[in-house]
Protein backbone atom coordinates (compact mmCIF):
# COMPACT_ATOMS: atom_id res chain seq x y z
CA UNK A 1 0.00 0.00 0.00
CA UNK A 2 1.28 3.44 -0.95
CA UNK A 3 1.92 5.67 2.06
CA UNK A 4 1.30 8.79 -0.04
CA UNK A 5 -2.08 8.02 -1.66
CA UNK A 6 -3.21 4.67 -0.16
CA UNK A 7 -3.30 2.92 -3.55
CA UNK A 8 -2.87 -0.84 -3.11
CA UNK A 9 -0.69 -3.23 -5.11
CA UNK A 10 -0.36 -7.00 -5.23
CA UNK A 11 3.35 -6.96 -6.07
CA UNK A 12 6.25 -5.12 -4.42
CA UNK A 13 7.77 -4.08 -7.75
CA UNK A 14 4.51 -2.42 -8.79
CA UNK A 15 4.51 -0.44 -5.55
CA UNK A 16 8.16 0.52 -6.11
CA UNK A 17 7.38 1.83 -9.61
CA UNK A 18 4.33 3.67 -8.30
CA UNK A 19 6.30 5.33 -5.49
CA UNK A 20 8.55 6.89 -8.12
CA UNK A 21 5.55 8.94 -9.28
CA UNK A 22 5.57 10.61 -5.88
CA UNK A 23 9.36 10.94 -5.57
CA UNK A 24 10.04 11.83 -9.20
CA UNK A 25 12.84 9.25 -9.34
CA UNK A 26 13.69 8.12 -12.88
CA UNK A 27 16.74 5.86 -12.56
CA UNK A 28 16.88 4.57 -16.16
CA UNK A 29 18.66 7.02 -18.48
CA UNK A 30 18.92 6.87 -22.27
CA UNK A 31 22.56 6.93 -23.34
CA UNK A 32 21.62 8.60 -26.64
CA UNK A 33 19.61 11.63 -25.49
CA UNK A 34 19.65 11.62 -21.68
CA UNK A 35 15.91 11.17 -21.25
CA UNK A 36 15.13 9.32 -18.00
CA UNK A 37 12.48 6.72 -17.21
CA UNK A 38 10.79 5.21 -14.16
CA UNK A 39 10.78 1.68 -15.62
CA UNK A 40 13.60 -0.05 -17.51
CA UNK A 41 11.09 -1.46 -20.02
CA UNK A 42 10.05 2.09 -20.97
CA UNK A 43 13.71 2.95 -21.61
CA UNK A 44 14.06 -0.10 -23.86
CA UNK A 45 10.98 0.93 -25.87
CA UNK A 46 12.26 4.51 -26.12
CA UNK A 47 15.67 3.46 -27.42
CA UNK A 48 14.06 2.07 -30.58
CA UNK A 49 13.56 5.70 -31.62
CA UNK A 50 17.32 6.14 -31.86
CA UNK A 51 17.95 2.87 -33.68
CA UNK A 52 15.37 3.81 -36.34
CA UNK A 53 14.08 0.25 -36.09
CA UNK A 54 10.39 0.15 -37.07
CA UNK A 55 9.24 -3.47 -36.97
CA UNK A 56 5.49 -2.77 -36.68
CA UNK A 57 3.80 -2.30 -40.07
CA UNK A 58 0.23 -1.15 -40.73
CA UNK A 59 -1.63 -3.66 -42.89
CA UNK A 60 -3.83 -0.86 -44.28
CA UNK A 61 -1.24 1.62 -45.56
CA UNK A 62 2.18 0.00 -44.92
CA UNK A 63 3.34 2.79 -42.57
CA UNK A 64 5.86 1.45 -40.04
CA UNK A 65 6.30 2.20 -36.35
CA UNK A 66 8.96 1.69 -33.70
CA UNK A 67 6.48 0.69 -31.00
CA UNK A 68 3.47 -1.63 -31.12
CA UNK A 69 1.26 0.86 -29.26
CA UNK A 70 1.97 3.46 -31.95
CA UNK A 71 0.75 1.01 -34.59
CA UNK A 72 -2.38 0.25 -32.56
CA UNK A 73 -3.19 3.95 -32.20
CA UNK A 74 -2.50 4.56 -35.90
CA UNK A 75 -4.73 1.68 -37.01
CA UNK A 76 -7.65 3.34 -35.25
CA UNK A 77 -7.51 6.00 -37.96
CA UNK A 78 -8.42 3.28 -40.46
CA UNK A 79 -10.93 1.41 -38.28
CA UNK A 80 -12.57 4.38 -36.59
CA UNK A 81 -12.29 2.59 -33.24
CA UNK A 82 -12.60 4.94 -30.24
CA UNK A 83 -12.47 2.75 -27.13
CA UNK A 84 -12.09 5.53 -24.54
CA UNK A 85 -15.42 7.10 -23.54
CA UNK A 86 -15.96 10.17 -21.36
CA UNK A 87 -18.12 9.40 -18.33
CA UNK A 88 -19.43 12.97 -18.31
CA UNK A 89 -20.66 13.43 -21.89
CA UNK A 90 -20.19 10.07 -23.67
CA UNK A 91 -17.74 11.53 -26.23
CA UNK A 92 -15.28 8.86 -27.42
CA UNK A 93 -11.56 8.97 -28.20
CA UNK A 94 -9.04 6.77 -30.00
CA UNK A 95 -6.27 7.28 -27.41
CA UNK A 96 -6.38 7.46 -23.63
CA UNK A 97 -4.38 10.68 -23.48
CA UNK A 98 -7.01 12.49 -25.58
CA UNK A 99 -9.73 11.34 -23.18
CA UNK A 100 -7.72 12.53 -20.17
CA UNK A 101 -7.14 15.93 -21.80
CA UNK A 102 -10.85 16.19 -22.70
CA UNK A 103 -12.01 15.32 -19.18
CA UNK A 104 -10.23 18.40 -17.87
CA UNK A 105 -12.91 20.47 -19.62
CA UNK A 106 -15.42 18.95 -17.22
CA UNK A 107 -13.30 19.12 -14.06
CA UNK A 108 -11.74 22.52 -14.69
CA UNK A 109 -8.31 21.02 -13.95
CA UNK A 110 -5.42 23.02 -15.48
CA UNK A 111 -2.25 21.06 -14.67
CA UNK A 112 -0.02 23.07 -17.01
CA UNK A 113 -0.58 26.55 -15.60
Q: What is the pTM of this model?
A: 0.54
Give the span between the Cα atoms of 102 and 79, in whole angstroms: 21
Give the span between the Cα atoms of 87 and 105, in whole angstroms: 12
pLDDT higher than 60, residue 112 = no
Give the span between the Cα atoms of 87 and 19, in whole angstroms: 28
Q: Which domains does the chain have, with CATH numbers?
A: 12-51 (3.30.160.60), 56-107 (3.30.160.60)
Other beta carbons within 10 angstroms of residue 76's beta carbon come to 14
pLDDT computed for residue 108 by the predictor:
79
SS3 sequence of 9-53: CCCHHHHHHHHHHHHCCCCEECCCCCCEECCHHHHHHHHHHHHCC
pLDDT computed for residue 9 by the predictor:
87
pLDDT higher than 90, residue 45 = no
Whole-number average pLDDT of the chain: 90
Amino acid sequence: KCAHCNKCFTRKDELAYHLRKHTGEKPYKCTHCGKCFVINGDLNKHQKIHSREKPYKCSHCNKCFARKIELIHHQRIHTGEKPYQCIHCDKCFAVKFALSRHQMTHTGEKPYT
